[in-house]
A and B are shown apart, each in its own frame.
Chain A
Amino acid sequence: MKYSLIEKLKISELVVWLKNKQYKVVGPKAKENQFVYGDLDSPDELKLEHKPPVLALKKYYLPQEENLLNFSFGETKGKEVDVSNNFTVVFGAHTCDIAGVICLENACDIEPKDNNFFERNKNILIIGIECLKPCDEYATCVTMGTHNPKGGYDLMLTDIGNQYLVHVNSQEGLNVVANDKIFVDADSEYISKVNRIRTDKTNVFNKQLNVAENEIGVLLGRTVKSPVWDDIGKRCLSCGNCTNVCPTCYCFDVRDEVNLAVTEGRRYRVWDSCQLKEFAEVAGGENFRKDRKKRQQHRLFRKFKYPIEKYNRNFCVGCGRCSRTCMAKISLIETINSLAKESI
């Protein structure tokens, strides 16, 4: 295991160095009273101390809108659009967001593979930052086991005072810390230091869900008829915010668009939401999930039950975005804990 050290004051220098290598460097930036992942035009924009940005890292892997084909109107075959190959450094992602990328990778890896995801994935370098305290009352990272680094990154920063300890987790990461003007090697005492930090963390991070991570799916399966769901069904506005901000929701719609002259067009995919009424409706008018309650159940089953059966992992990373963004104040913690209480 390789560890390096970087002075906090040298983070800006690192961002500039990466940008000078013609990498696109993105990271959490302040926007109004929230944070967003965006291009770092200057290193000052980087906010390493942040709450989960509005949209998760999925926008860099499966963009909100992505061209699939360009075509001339009247043709039956399109011209396939290549994924642009800009090398991107994601700087300052929380461990929950990194876990979200691993979930997406699982979903995209099922045959037939989503090649666009993997084209982008191979050109993204992740420099993560470990959280030493919970973001807010919405996060469930401790229950989901995502508050500690568990792979999926190239470099991971852990705050140890005036410096960050840097865990090097890939060859690409090693190439970055090879810059000895910015990084110095860390000796073995730092490994015990990081272990101490992790132990101390258990004092500030509390479990938010009263159900173990691997039992949530079973609980959901057992409580489909609970009045808790009726309440959620009544409150849900079907706006789709929860799925848009979710780091692991990857459903999309495929749409066509033609120019005004009706000569050229494009076929593209765009994020879609299983919470929208039309999502499962077929052309004849039959809607296979017409109730808001059923759609909300579907969403949580897709986080805690189906992916366990398919990938042996939950597709919830505990970031808290769905609860934070919900206009109807539907809270994941409240939902799971209410269901748990009922099923006792």
Chain B
Amino acid sequence: MNNSLYNPIKATIVATKQMTATEKWFKIELENKKDLNHNPGQFVEVSLLGLGEAPISISSSPTQRGYFELCVRQAGKITAALHKLKEGDNLGIRGPFGHGFPIDELKGKDLLFIAGGLGIAPLRSLINYVIDQRKDFGKVNILLGCKEPKQLLYTDELKKWEKLTGISFRCTVDRADPDWKGNVGLITNLIPGIDIDVKQTYAIVCGPPIMYKFVLVKLMEKNIPDKQILVSLERKMKCGLGKCGHCQINGLYCCQDGPVFSYDKIKKVEGAI
């Protein structure tokens, strides 16, 4: 099987929802309802033969069997074509790829999720895993930020998270609209007020590239140890196999060594953050 690594598996879209002007949600089943067998934090290459592939984070928890979910932002040629697909359409899937979140290491620990914008999509795979396996984990804080209320993703689900007893959920927007009753301001403003036991808290961060620097400063002010800060990084994962070179962060291949890294591993890697 020479090129089987490059051959996608057939999958079918079983539900979609336009979430915002630019983000669309897809529920996908692999052929014969096979499980994707992913870890939270991993990604897949979504393939449209004739157009190409796009790396997309898996946004559902592996505790949900028989299907998985993606949240796709329309940003380029492939994602524009994906947005045109509807229920019943087929697409190709390769993966899952990369290292996701270290679930075993996180068990028994307190978790502080920090998501900016579309960064909620990969974190949601872990958040929902934690919700489904709640007793395995300690305190859970979720901070979510985005530019405007109309860009908020998974709005119905956010309301559920707000009501869950074992979870503290906070949300902020950079710019409010007249109906917005929540926090206004950058996500970094939410961090100082969070009550956490730094010794046993893992911070799990995903957002636009610009966000990391500012969030990391706030986490350091809290004295969270570097190896307890997990970031999920975006790069151009073209092959997913650690070969093509596009996603390289210095000596690391984001697609294989990441996309989830603990901060102590990349702290001294120039250009990583």
Contacts and interface: CB of A to CB of B under 8 A. Distances in A.
B66 interface: no
Nearest to A107: B243
B180 interface: no
A73 B78 CA distance: 15
Contact of A80 (B2, B242, B251, B271): B2
A256 interface: yes
Interface string A214-230: 00000000001000000
A102 interface: no
B52 A280 contact: no
The CB with the most chain B CB atoms within 10 A, among A77, A82, A116, A119, is that of: A77
A43 interface: no
A71 B49 contact: yes
Given A69-B49, A253-B238, A280 B7 contact: no
B262 interface: no
A279 interface: yes
A328 interface: no
Given A71-B49, A288-B235, A77 B92 contact: yes
A306 B52 contact: no
A301 B245 CA distance: 13
Given A71-B49, A75-B49, A279 B3 contact: no
A8 interface: no
B242 A110 contact: yes
A253 B49 contact: no
B11 interface: yes
B51 interface: yes
Interface residues of B, number: 46
A256 B54 CA distance: 13
B98 to A, nearest CB: 12
Contacts of B247: 280
A265 B246 contact: no
Interface in A228-277: 250-256, 258, 262, 265, 267, 269, 272, 274
Given A73-B49, A82-B2, A267-B49, A301 B243 contact: no
A78 B235 contact: no
A76 B10 contact: yes
A305 interface: yes
The CB with the most chain A CB atoms within 10 A, among B3, B51, B242, B248, is that of: B3
B234 to A, nearest CB: 6
Nearest to B47: A76
The CB with the most chain A CB atoms within 10 A, among B1, B6, B52, B245, is that of: B245
B223 to A, nearest CB: 29
A258 B79 CA distance: 19
Contacts of B76: 283-284
Contacts of A71: 49-50
Given A69-B7, A81-B2, A272 B54 contact: no
A68 B6 contact: yes
Contact of A306 (B53, B73, B92, B250): B250
A281 interface: yes
B251 A265 contact: no
Interface in A37-78: 68-69, 71, 73, 75-78
Contacts of B179: none
A258 B48 CA distance: 12
Given A76-B8, A255-B52, A256-B52, A116 B3 contact: yes
B2 A115 contact: yes
A114 interface: yes
A69 B243 CA distance: 17
A73 to B, nearest CB: 5
A81 B251 contact: no
Interface string A109-145: 0101011100100000000000000000000000000
A253 B238 CA distance: 7
B3 A80 contact: yes
Contacts of A306: 250-251
Contacts of A294: 271
Nearest to A286: B209
Given A280-B236, A282-B236, A305-B251, A251 B244 contact: yes
B7 A77 contact: yes
A78 B92 CA distance: 10
A262 B114 CA distance: 45
B254 to A, nearest CB: 9
A272 B234 contact: no
Nearest to B234: A282
Contacts of A298: 248, 250
B176 interface: no
Interface string B207-249: 0110000000000000000000000001110110111111111
B52 A119 contact: no
A252 B49 contact: no
B4 interface: yes
8 contacts: A76-B91, A77-B10, A80-B7, A83-B2, A110-B242, A256-B49, A283-B54, A284-B73
